[in-house]
Amino acid sequence: METDPWALHPCRPGADPWSLPLAQFDLSNPRLYAEGVWHPFFARLRQQEPVHYCAESPFGPYWSVTRFRDIQEVESQHALFSSEPTVLLGNPPRDFYLQPGFIAMDPPRHTLTRAAAQPAVGVANLGLLEPLIRERAVAILDALPLGVEFDWVERVAVELTTQMLATLFDFPLEQRHLLTHWSDVATSSPRQPGPLRITPEEWRQSMRECLEVFTGLWNERAARPPRQPLDLVSLLAQHPATCAMTPMEYLGNLLLLIVGGNDTTRHSLTGGVLALHENPEQLAKLHAEPGLVASLVPEIIRWQTPLAYMRRTATADCELAGRRIRAGEKVLLWYLSGNRDASEIPDADLFIVDRARPRHHLSFGFGIHRCMGNRLAEMQLRIVWEEILRRFRRIEVCGPPQRVMSCFVHGFERLPVRVHGL
Ligand code: HEM
C-alpha cells in the first residue's frame, strides 16, 4: 500500500500549532489545506516569526512571508525578488520542455507580453462580454433542481468558469470540457499532487493535445481582421510583441491564462457558497440590500484566497523584517496568511459582506504581476451572485466539503448542496 509521507510529517493536521517547534514548520504539507486546518499555523507565524525559514522540505529550503505588509514589500521590489524561473515552490523538472507564461517572467519580457493580452480583460471588452456571460450563468442557475442534493463544484462552479473561459478565448463551446481538463493537468504533476494523479507521459500527451488544438485557432485568427469582443488568441497572434512566439512560449502563456482564469474563479464561486452557509446573518444582509453584492464579491475573494501563495527568488542578499535572505533563496508570499492579518484587516477572521474597504486584500497579489484578470473575475462573481439572490432564498450545504490536496490551489473538489427558492 502506498504511504503518504505528508501523513507522518510533524507539521500536519492533528499537530498542535502552538507547541510544535517553529523549526519543524513546513507549510508545503498539502494535508493542511485538504483538511482546512492551516489557520492557526499561520496565526502563530504572524505572531512569533513572521518571516520564517524552513530548512528542509521535499522542495528544498524556503522562506515563508506571512504578514500583509511584508508581502507587499517583497512584491514591490521585483528586481530584488524575481518571478523567474517559476512562481511555484517546486522548480521545474530538468527535462521540462514548457516555457513559462508571463507570470514567471521579469521585465521587459513580462511587460510586453502582458500588454499584448491585457485588452481582452480591459473595461471596454468586459462590457461587451457581460451580456453573454450573464446569459450563460442564468441558463446554468435556471436548470438547478430545487430541494434536491447535487455537487455545486461540478454542476455550477466548473461549468460557469469553463464557459467564461471559452468566451474569453472564443473557444468552441461544445469542446469546453477540454479547458477544464488541461487546467487540471497543468496544476497536477507526479511530484506535487494536484487535482489529478497522472504519469509524466500522460501529462505530456495532454499538453501536446492542448497545443495542437490552440495552434489550429492561432492559424485561423492570425490571418483574419480583429473582431469584437476581443479574444485572447487573436490578441496574442496579432500583437507585434507576441506574434513570433515559439509554440512552447504560446503553450506556456495559454496555460497561465487557462489556469489563471479557471481554478481561481471556480474556487471563489464555491467558497462564497460555503461562507454564506456558515454566516446566515450575512446572507440576510444581502437579501435586505442586494446592492451589497459589490462588497460581497471582494470579501469572498479575500476569504477564499484561491491561490495560497506565489513564490519569488531573491536575486541578491537582503534583509526582510530583520531576517537575512541570501541570493538564490526561495521566498513564498502566503496570501492566505496576509489576508488574515488583523493588523491590516479589521476582524480578519470574520466573513463580513459590508466591509468599509473590501478590496484591501492580497488575493490578486500586488505590484507589476497583480492579477490581470481581476476585473473579469469580479464581474463573473457579481453576475452570479446577483442572479442567485434573484432566485434562491439560500444555498444549503448538506455535507462536508472535499478540499483540494494542494498547498498552492486553495479550493474544493466537491461541495454537496441543496438550493431553496425564494
Ligand atoms: C478570483 C479569481 C482570481 C484570483 C484570486 C487570481 C489570483 C492571481 C494571483 C495571486 C496572481 C499573481 C499576482 C502576483 O504575483 O502579484 C495572478 C496573476 C494572473 N492572473 Fe489571476 N486570479 C484570478 C482570476 C483570473 C482570471 C479570470 C484571469 C483570466 C484571464 C486571470 C489571469 C491572470 C494572469 C494572466 C496573471 C499574470 C499576471 C502577470 O504576471 O502580470 N486571473 N492572479
pLDDT digits (tens, 9 = 90+) for 4-42: 888 889 999 999 999 999 999 999 999 999 999 999 999
pLDDT digits (tens, 9 = 90+) for 324-380: 999 999 999 999 999 999 999 999 999 999 999 999 999 999 999 999 999 999 999
**CA-proximal residue: ligand 1, atom 15 (nearest):** 369
Name beta bridge partners: 310. 333
Q: Which residue has the cell 495560497?
A: 308
User: What are φ and ψ of residue 360, in 5° steps?
Assistant: -80, 80
Q: Which atom of ligand 1 is nearest to the CA of 105?
A: 40
What distance in angstroms lies between residue 254's CA and the mean position of ligand 1's atoms? 13
Give residue 352's identity as a one-letter amino acid code: I
Within 6 Å (CB) of ligand 1, which residues are found? 75, 102-103, 114, 121, 256-257, 260-261, 264-265, 268, 301, 306-307, 310, 363-367, 369-373, 376-377
Q: Which atom of ligand 1 is nearest to the CA of 121?
A: 30
Helix (H, G, I), strand (E, B) or coil at 18: coil
What distance in angstroms lies between residue 373's CA and the mean position of ligand 1's atoms? 6
What distance in angstroms lies between residue 260's CA and the mean position of ligand 1's atoms? 5
**Per-position DSSP letters for 317-369, written without gaps between them:** -EEETTEEE-TT-EEEEEHHHHTT-TTTSTTTTS--TT-SSTT--STT--GGG
Q: Which atom of ligand 1 is nearest to the CA of 363?
A: 5
In this structure, are residues 253 and 120 in contact, taking their beta carbons and an 8 Å threshold? no
- Residue 415's pLDDT band, with cuts at 50, 70 and 90, is very high
Instruction: Tell me how far apart the alpha carbons of residues 124 and 308 are, in angstroms, rounded to a whole number.
Output: 30
State which H helix or E strand residue 379 sits in.
Answer: helix 374-391
- The radius of gyration of the chain's CA atoms, rounded to the nearest angstrom, is 21
Interval 385-406 mean pLDDT: 96
Domains of the chain, first to last: 5-421 (1.10.630.10)
Helix ranges (H only) for 118-226 are: 123-142, 152, 158-169, 177-186, 200-222
Q: Which residues contact 360 (CB under 8 A, 6 or more apart)?
A: 344, 345
pTM of the full structure: 0.96
In this structure, are residues 1 and 7 in contact, taking their beta carbons and an 8 Å threshold? no
Length of the chain: 422
What distance in angstroms lies between residue 412's CA and the mean position of ligand 1's atoms? 18
In this structure, are residues 418 and 149 in contact, taking their beta carbons and an 8 Å threshold? yes
- Residue 200's pLDDT band, with cuts at 50, 70 and 90, is confident
Please tell me the predicted confidence (pLDDT) of residue 134: 95
| Percent of the chain's residues with pLDDT above 90 | 81
Q: Which atom of ligand 1 is nearest to the CA of 83?
A: 15
**391: its cell numbers:** 432566485
Please tell me the predicted confidence (pLDDT) of residue 251: 87
